[in-house]
C-alpha cells in the first residue's frame, strides 16, 4: 500500500496489515486462539458493559485521567513549551496497566480462566499480576533470567501480588525469550488461557487491540491540551519505543493529524552501530517475529539477533508493525538515544522537574534537544513510567547521575 | 506421482524422522540422513535451524542453537543436500523450519535450491494458510514442492476440509497441546477421540501424527489412527553427546522399528 492510499493510520486491514507490516504468522496450534480474539475483540471493546467497566476501573483503580503537567524548567532549558503526560502516576507506576485492565476484562468475556504474560522491565508483568489479583485469576509471567536480575524489585512485586514468575533461560534471556516462552505456554494451554501481550506487537489483532487500549493517553492529551493551550493539537508528541505501546497510545489520536509531529525514541545502547543497540528502525529489516511482519534486527540468514539496551523495557529486536509503518511512510520520525544520554535524561528530569523517570522514558526526555522545536511550539512527552524499578541501575551509575 | 505420494501408496505405518541440519556437527546432516534411512526411516524431515523456533520445545531449540553455532545456514544446507538424491534416491525428504529465514533467502531462491537438491516438501508452521495460498502457492507448485499443513485438536472441521483440499503431501496431526518434545498424555482417551474424529472425516490426504511420539509404544499407538508418525525430539536426545552420530541415529530407528 502506498501512503497515498492510506485513509487512516489508525486502522489496520481486516487481516491486520499496516501497509506491508502486520498479519498473523502463527503456528496452527495458535490459530484458533488468535482467530477467537480477532473475531470478537472489536465487538467486546465497543460493548456498553465493557466500556462502563473499563472506564470505571481506569478512573477509580488506575487513577485516570493522569495529569498533563507543564514542565517549566525543562521548557526553559529547551526554549520551547514542554508538557509531561504523567503515566508514571498510574497505579503500578506505568502506562502498562491501561492495557492489562482492558485485556483482563476481555479475557473474562471470552470465558478464560488463566492469564499468561511476558515482561521485560517488569512493568507489564506487575500490571498483569495486579489485574489478575483484582479479578482473582491465576497468573504466570515469563521473564528473562537477565531481566529477573536487573529488575529484582518488580519480580518481588509480581510475587507479592500472587503471580508465578517463570524464568526464560533461552537465547539472550531477555524480553524476546520471555515472549517465546509465553507463546509456548499458550500453545500448551489453548483453551482456558488468555495471553496478555504487553505491547503493540504479536499477531493481529494484538497490535490494534493494545493500541486501542492505550489510546486513552492521547484521548486525554487532546482534552487537556485544549484546556491548557487553547488547542487540542500539540506540535510534537515524543515517546520512547521498545515494542511501542506507550508511543502507540500517545500517538493514536494524533495519527491522522498531519500537523502533529510524532517522534519515536529508540534505545541506541552503546551507540547505534556499536553492536550493542536496540535501534530497530535503523538496524532492522522486514521480517517476522512473534507472529507479525515488521522491522526487526536480524542477520543475513534471517536469524534474529540479540538487541541491547541498559533499559530492560527497550531491548527488543523488533518494533510493533504500526511503528514500522509510521517509520517507513515518514509519518513518525525516529531518534536513537544511547545509554549514557538516557542516564543524562534521568538526571535532567529529576533535577529540573523533581520526577525520577523510568529508564525507558528517559530516552524520550533525552531526545528533547534533537527535536528542533521553537519557542512557540508545544511539545508533549509521554512520561511512560516512574523510575523506582530502576533504582538498582541508577545506584550502579551514580557517577553519571549526581 | 511424487516420492511422498509413492511412499504412502507403497508403505504402511510410515516412520518420519525429524533431525536438525548441522547437528550435532556441521557435516553430520547427510551421514545422519543416510543412517536413518538405512535403519528403516521411511521419510525424513530435515530441520532448518532458527533462532526463535516458537513451536518447538527445548530439545529442538537447543539443537538449533548448536547447529547455528556450528555455522549452519540455508546456503550451507543446500550445498550439503546436493548429494542427497544420489545417496537416497527414493526417500521422501521434507524441509522443516520457520518462515523468516526462508523469506530472507528469498522464497523463489529457496524453492529453486530445494527442488534442485531433490527436496519433496516443506513444513513451515508459522506460514499462514491464507498467505501461502495468495503469495507462495504458485512458486512452491512451480518447483514441485509440496507444503504440509498442521492440524490440532482445536482445528475446525471446515478448516480441516479446506486443508485437505489444498494438500498434496500429508496432514500433520499435532497430537495435542504443547510444543515438540512434550510428554504424551497420561490419559489417552481425549487424544484417541480426536484421532478417531479425524479418521471419521474420510480425508483424501494421508495423515502422520507428531508431537509427543518418542518410542516404539507411542509410535505404534499413532499408527493405529493414522498412516504413521513423526519423531523428532527423542531422536535429537539420542544424538546428544553421541560419539558416532550416524550410529546413534541408526540405533534409535532400530529401537522404534524392530
Contact B103 A288 (CB under 8 A): yes
Task: Provide residues of B within 8 Å CB-CB of chain A.
Answer: 50-52, 54-55, 57-58, 61, 65, 68, 73-74, 98-105, 125-128, 130-131, 149-152, 154-156, 159, 174, 177-179, 182
Asked whether residue A203 is assigned to any structural domain, the reply reads yes
DSSP label of B44 = E
Per residue in A111-139, pLDDT (tens digit) is 999 999 999 889 999 999 999 999 999 99
Catalytic residue (one of B28, B42, B45, B120): B45
Indicate if A283 and A166 belong to the same structural domain.
no
Contacts of residue A38, Cβ cutoff 8 Å, sequence gap at least 6: A16, A24, A204, A205
ipTM over 0.90: yes
* Nearest CA among A185, A165, A181 for reference residue A173: A181
Confidence of residue A4 (pLDDT cuts 50, 70, 90): very low
Q: In terms of domains, do A278 and A341 share one?
A: yes
Same domain assignment for residues A166 and A185: yes
> Given CB atoms, is A96 within the 8 Å cutoff of chain B?
no
Establish whether B113 is a catalytic residue.
no
Reported as type and span, the H/E element at residue B180 is none
Q: Which of these three, A168, A184, A209, is where a domain ends?
A: A209
Range of the domain at B166: 3-257
Using CB atoms, which residue from B99, B105, B151 is nearest to A288? B99
C-alpha A102/C-alpha A39 separation (Å) is 17
A187 → chain B, closest CA residue = B178
Please indicate whether residue B45 is annotated as part of the active site. yes
Q: How far is A192 from chain B (nearest CA, A)?
A: 12
Residues A41 and A64 reside in one and the same domain: no
pLDDT at A170 over 90: no
Question: Could you tell me which chain A residue has the CA closest to the CA of B110?
Answer: A301
Give the pTM: 0.96
Chain A nearest CA to B194, separation (Å): 14
Is residue A325 pLDDT above 50, yes or no? yes
Count Cβ atoms within 10 A of the Cβ of residue B153 and give its class: 0-12 exposed, 13-18 middle, 19 or more buried: buried
Q: Is position A5 within any domain?
A: no
Nearest chain B residue to A185, by CA: B178
Question: What is the CATH number for A157?
Answer: 3.40.50.1100
Q: Are residues A234 and A372 in the same domain?
A: yes
Question: Looking at the domain assignment, is residue A288 inside a domain?
Answer: yes
Span A367-381, average pLDDT: 98
Report the distance separating Cα B22 and Cα B30, nearest Å: 9
- What are the helix (H) ranges across chain B? 3-10, 29-39, 58-69, 74-80, 84-87, 99-105, 107-116, 129-131, 137-142, 157-166, 189-199, 216-225, 233-239, 245-257
Choose among A28, A184, A189: nearest Cβ to B150: A28
Residue A4 cell numbers, joined: 497515498
- Both A63 and A53 in one domain: the answer is no
Rounded-to-integer distance, Cα B224 and Cα B215, Å: 15
CA of B177 vs chain A CAs: smallest distance (Å): 4
Q: Which grid coordinates are listed for B250?
A: 541408526
**Distance between CA atoms of A65 and A31, rounded to whole angstroms?**
36
Do the Cβ atoms of A48 and A201 come closer than 8 Å? no
- Tens digit of pLDDT for each residue in A330-355? 999 999 999 999 999 999 999 999 99
Residue A275: the pLDDT is 94
**Count of structural domains, chain B:** 1
pLDDT digits (tens, 9 = 90+) for A304-324: 998 999 998 898 999 999 999
Higher pLDDT, A399 or A172: A399
Rounded distance between C-alpha atoms, residue A156 and residue A359, angstroms: 19
What own/partner pairs with CB < 8 Å and gap ≥ 24 does B66-72 have? B66/B23, B66/B24, B67/B20, B67/B21, B67/B22, B67/B23, B67/B26, B68/A303, B68/B22, B70/B22, B70/B23, B70/B25, B70/B26, B71/B22, B71/B26, B72/B21, B72/B22, B72/B23, B72/B26
Is residue A243 one of the residues assigned to a domain?
A: yes
Which of A209-223, A288-302, B142-156, B181-195 comes out lowest in average pLDDT? B181-195
**What DSSP string runs through B91-113?**
--EEEE--HHHHHHH-HHHHHHH
Residue A301: give the domain boundaries.
58-94+215-401
Q: How far is B85 from chain A (nearest CA, A)?
A: 25
The residues, any chain, with a CB within 8 Å of residue A21's CB and separated by 6 or more, are A286, A292, A293, A294, A295, A321, A322, A324, A325, A328
| Range B125-146 average pLDDT | 95
Q: What is the DSSP letter of A213?
A: H
Query: Dihedrals φ, ψ of B222, to 5°?
Result: -65, -40
Contact state of A302 with B154 under an 8 Å Cβ cutoff: no
CB environment A53-66: b (16+ within 10 A), e (fewer): bbeebbeeebebbb
Residues A158 and A298 in one domain: no
Candidates B52, B125, B131; nearest CB to A304 = B52
Please, which residues have CB within 8 angstroms of residue A168's CB and are 6 or more apart in sequence? A142, A143, A144, A145, A177, A178, A180, A181
Residue showing cell 544446507: B77
For chain A, the domain total comes to 2
Q: Decide if A8 touches B, using CB distance below 8 A.
A: no
* CB-count exposure of residue B112 (10 Å: 0-12, 13-18, 19+): middle
* Sheet of B207-210, strands arranged across: B146-147, B121-123, B93-96, B43-47, B14-20, B228-231, B207-210, B171-174, B149-151
Peptide bond into A172 cis (omega under 30): no
CA distance A281 to A319: 8
The CB-side HSE value for B116 (13 A sphere, CA atoms) comes to 12
Instruction: Select from B50, B103, B125 the Cβ nearest to the Cβ of A28.
Output: B125
Query: Is the Cβ of A14 closer than 8 Å to some Cβ of chain B?
Result: no
Last residue of a domain, one of A209, A243, A264: A209
Q: What is the average pLDDT score of chain A?
A: 95
Picking from A155, A174, A209, the residue at the C-terminal end of a domain is: A209
pLDDT tens digit sequence for B73-124: 999 999 999 898 999 999 999 999 999 999 999 999 999 999 999 999 999 9
Q: Which of A116, A158, A176 is nearest to A140 (CA)?
A: A116
Q: At what angle do helices A216-229 and A206-214 cross, to 10 degrees?
A: 30
Model confidence band, residue A3 (pLDDT cutoffs 50, 70, 90): very low
CATH number at residue B98: 3.20.20.70
- Percent of chain B topping pLDDT 70: 100
Does A239 map to a domain? yes
From B54, B65, B156, residue closest to A180, measured CB to CB? B54
Q: Could you report the per-residue pLDDT of A290-301, keeping only the tens digit for each?
A: 999 999 999 999
Could you tell me if A171 lies within 8 Å of chain B, comparing CB atoms? yes
Say whether both A267 and A349 belong to one domain. Answer: yes
Specify if A143 maps to a domain.
yes
Check whether residue A236 and residue A341 sit in a common domain.
yes
Contacts of A290 in chain B (CB under 8 A): 52, 54
Amino acid at each position: 500500500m502506498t501512503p497515498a492510499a492510506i485513509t487512516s493510520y489508525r486502522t489496520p486491514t481486516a487481516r491486520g496489515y499496516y501497509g506491508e507490516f502486520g498479519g498473523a504468522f502463527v503456528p496452527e496450534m495458535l490459530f484458533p486462539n488468535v482467530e477467537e480474539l480477532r473475531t470478537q475483540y472489536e465487538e467486546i471493546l465497543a460493548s456498553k458493559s465493557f466500556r462502563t467497566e473499563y472506564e470505571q476501573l481506569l478512573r477509580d483503580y488506575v487513577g485516570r485521567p493522569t495529569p498533563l503537567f507543564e514542565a517549566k524548567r525543562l521548557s526553559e532549558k529547551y526554549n520551547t513549551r514542554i508538557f509531561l503526560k504523567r503515566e508514571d502516576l498510574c497505579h503500578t507506576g506505568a502506562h502498562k496497566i491501561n492495557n492489562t485492565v482492558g485485556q483482563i476484562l476481555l479475557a473474562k468475556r471470552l470465558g478464560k480462566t488463566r492469564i499468561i504474560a511476558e515482561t521485560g522491565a517488569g512493568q507489564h508483568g506487575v500490571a498483569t499480576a495486579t489485574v489478575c489479583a483484582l479479578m482473582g485469576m491465576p497468573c504466570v509471567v515469563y521473564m528473562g533470567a537477565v531481566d529477573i536480575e536487573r529488575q529484582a524489585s518488580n519480580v518481588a512485586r509480581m510475587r507479592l501480588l500472587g503471580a508465578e514468575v517463570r524464568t526464560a533461560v533461552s537465547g539472550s534471556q531477555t524480553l524476546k525469550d520471555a515472549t517465546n516462552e509465553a507463546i509456548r505456554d499458550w500453545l500448551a494451554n489453548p483453551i482456558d488461557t488468555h495471553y496478555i501481550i504487553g505491547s503493540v506487537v504479536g499477531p493481529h489483532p494484538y497490535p490494534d487491540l493494545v493500541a486501542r487500549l492505550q489510546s486513552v493517553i492521547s484521548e486525554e492529551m487532546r482534552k487537556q491540551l485544549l484546556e491548557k493551550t487553547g488547542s487540542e493539537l500539540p506540535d510534537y508528541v515524543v515517546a520512547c519505543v521498545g515494542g511501542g505501546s506507550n508511543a502507540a497510545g500517545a500517538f493514536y489520536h494524533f495519527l491522522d493529524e498531519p500537523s502533529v509531529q510524532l517522534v519515536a525514541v529508540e534505545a541506541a545502547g552503546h551507540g547505534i552501530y556499536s553492536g550493542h543497540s536496540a535501534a530497530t528502525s535503523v538496524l532492522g529489516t522486514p521480517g517476522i517475529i512473534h507472529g507479525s511482519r515488521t522491522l526487526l534486527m536480524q542477520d543475513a540468514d534471517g536469524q534474529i539477533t540479540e538487541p541491547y539496551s541498559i533499559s530492560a523495557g527497550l531491548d527488543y529486536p523488533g518494533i510493533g508493525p504500526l511503528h514500522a509503518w509510521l517509520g517507513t511512510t515518514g509519518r513518525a520520525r525516529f531518534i536513537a538515544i544511547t545509554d549514557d544520554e538516557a542516564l543524562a535524561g534521568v538526571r535532567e528530569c529529576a533535577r529540573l522537574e523533581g520526577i525520577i523517570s523510568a529508564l525507558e522514558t528517559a530516552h524520550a526526555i533525552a531526545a528533547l534537544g534533537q527535536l528542533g522545536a521553537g519557542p512557540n511550539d508545544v511539545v508533549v512527552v509521554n512520561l511512560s513510567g516512574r523510575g523506582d524499578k530502576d533504582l538498582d541501575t541508577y545506584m550502579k551509575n551514580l557517577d553519571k547521575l549526581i | 506421482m511424487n516420492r511422498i505420494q509413492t511412499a504412502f501408496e507403497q508403505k504402511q505405518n510410515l516412520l518420519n524422522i525429524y533431525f536438525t541440519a548441522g547437528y550435532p556437527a556441521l557435516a553430520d546432516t547427510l551421514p545422519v540422513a543416510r543412517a536413518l534411512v538405512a535403519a528403516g526411516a521411511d521419510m525424513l524431515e530435515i530441520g532448518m535451524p532458527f533462532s526463535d523456533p516458537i513451536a518447538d520445545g527445548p530439545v529442538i531449540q537447543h539443537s538449533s542453537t548448536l547447529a547455528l553455532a556450528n555455522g549452519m545456514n540455508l546456503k550451507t544446507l543446500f550445498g550439503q543436500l546436493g548429494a542427497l538424491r544420489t545417496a537416497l534416491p527414493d526417500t521422501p525428504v521434507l524441509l522443516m523450519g520457520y518462515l523468516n529465514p526462508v523469506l530472507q533467502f528469498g522464497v523463489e531462491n529457496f524453492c529453486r535450491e530445494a527442488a534442485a537438491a531433490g527436496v519433496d516438501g516443506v513444513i513451515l508452521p508459522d506460514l499462514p494458510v491464507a498467505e501461502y495460498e495468495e503469495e507462495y502457492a504458485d512458486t512452491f507448485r512451480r518447483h514441485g514442492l509440496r507444503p504440509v499443513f498442521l492440524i490440532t485438536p482445536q482445528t475446525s472441521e471446515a478448516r480441516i476440509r479446506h486443508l485437505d483440499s489444498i494438500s498434496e503431501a500429508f496432514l500433520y496431526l499435532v497430537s495435542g497441546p504443547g510444543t515438540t518434545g512434550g510428554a504424551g498424555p497420561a490419559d489417552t482417551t481425549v487424544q484417541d477421540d480426536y484421532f478417531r474424529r479425524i479418521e471419521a472425516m474420510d480425508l483424501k490426504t494421508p495423515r502422520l501424527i507428531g508431537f509427543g511420539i518418542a518410542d516404539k509404544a507411542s509410535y505404534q499407538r499413532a499408527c493405529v489412527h493414522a498412516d504413521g508418525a513423526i519423531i523428532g525430539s527423542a531422536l535429537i536426545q539420542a544424538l546428544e553427546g553421541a560419539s558416532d552420530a550416524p550410529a546413534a541415529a541408526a540405533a534409535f530407528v532400530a529401537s522404534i522399528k524392530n
